[in-house]
Amino acid sequence: MKDTIVPVSSHHLMPMYQTNPPLPPSETMPTMYDLPSEELDDFNLPEEFHPKSPLETMPTMYDLPSELVGESGLPDEFHRIQADALTQTCQPANHPLDQVFIASDLNLYYDPRHPQWYKRPDWFLVLGVSRFTQQEDLRLSYLVWQEGIAPFMVVELLSPTTEQEDLGQTLREVNKPPTKWQVYEQILRIPYYVIFDRYTNRLRVFRLEATRYQELSLPDSRLWLAEVQLGLGIWQGAFEGTTGLWLRWYDANGEWFPTYQEEAAKERLRAQRAELKAAQLAEKLRSLGLDPDSFDR
């Protein structure tokens, strides 16, 4: 239905104050704009009327999706195992472990102007944020505007469907979020971007130089990172029951940091050696006519 405009004669346009005269000045109630700011608290305004900082109005991880949106499938078996190998062996020598956050396949929200935009790195490392130890505190996603610190390193494991974007070979589409490369390089300015291709066993590392990523030379497929006193390289062996080439971390002596399984095996070996030494000592004491149990009393 089309709106109709009804003409009104000029004598109908009478000022409202002719029928509703204004209150005299003494009866006009002041507003908050009439008073100095330091007196606002005297009104005991409800909490919802107090001005909030931009950070307080931003969504939290409880407000944003923690799963893939508009994408299908979870990480394949290789992605899961490789991420475990990186996580278990990442032990920065110059950072307390409770201030090192490691995540794999976790939504990374990066732009407060577009809070719904995110990337989902295969693995990333953040230095200087708390790693929570209580289950109820564990992160659903990583929000840069809430944490205040961008990742130090991201690792992408190439797959046929993501290879072009991972390598920065795709262009941003109109009215679409920036590409993965643009987010890591230009928005978050992540110092190190690591790409590993399991099909060619090629490790590539890009370091942020000024405003652009520059690829580093990797003799023997190894890279030493002085900032964290860690080295990253390709190791051949069996991890979680699967033999192959894996990314993992090594120390200043070039020794690979042990995985959880390797550390448990070392602990069992130490216990066995201690038990054997104790048995040998007991036998020696008996040969001398001494009761080894008497030394425990």
Per-residue pLDDT of the chain (297 residues; tens, 9 = 90+): 444 333 434 333 333 334 444 444 444 555 544 545 444 444 465 665 556 666 677 888 777 766 665 554 567 899 999 999 999 999 998 999 899 999 999 999 999 999 999 999 999 999 999 988 889 999 999 999 999 999 999 999 998 778 888 888 888 888 899 999 999 999 999 999 999 999 999 999 999 999 999 999 998 999 999 999 999 999 999 999 999 999 999 999 999 999 998 888 877 878 788 777 878 887 887 888 788 787 776
Q: Residue 52: its pLDDT value, please?
A: 64
Angle, CA of 115, 120 and 123, to the nearest 5°? 135
Q: Residue 289: its pLDDT value, please?
A: 79
Question: Which residue is it, tokens 């991420």?
Answer: 83
Q: Which two tokens stand for residue 235?
A: 């190791």
The Cα–Cα gap between 128 and 152 comes to: 10
Q: What are 154's strand-pairing partners?
A: 124, 193
Q: Residue 35: its pLDDT value, please?
A: 44
Contact present, 234 and 214 (Cβ < 8 Å):
no
Phi/psi for 124 (5° steps) reads: -150, 155
Contact present, 123 and 104 (Cβ < 8 Å):
yes
Q: Which two tokens stand for residue 229?
A: 């006193």
Own/partner pairs for 270-276, CB < 8 Å, 24+ apart?
A: none
- Beta strand 153-157 with 192-197: parallel, antiparallel or unpaired? parallel
Contact present, 122 and 75 (Cβ < 8 Å):
yes
Alpha helix positions (H), the chain: 54-57, 77-89, 144-147, 163-166, 180-182, 260-287
Q: Which two tokens stand for residue 17?
A: 């104050």
Q: Residue 54: its pLDDT value, please?
A: 61
Closest CA to 120 of 167, 69, 82, 59: 69
Phi/psi for 77 (5° steps) reads: -65, -40
Write down how long the chain is: 297
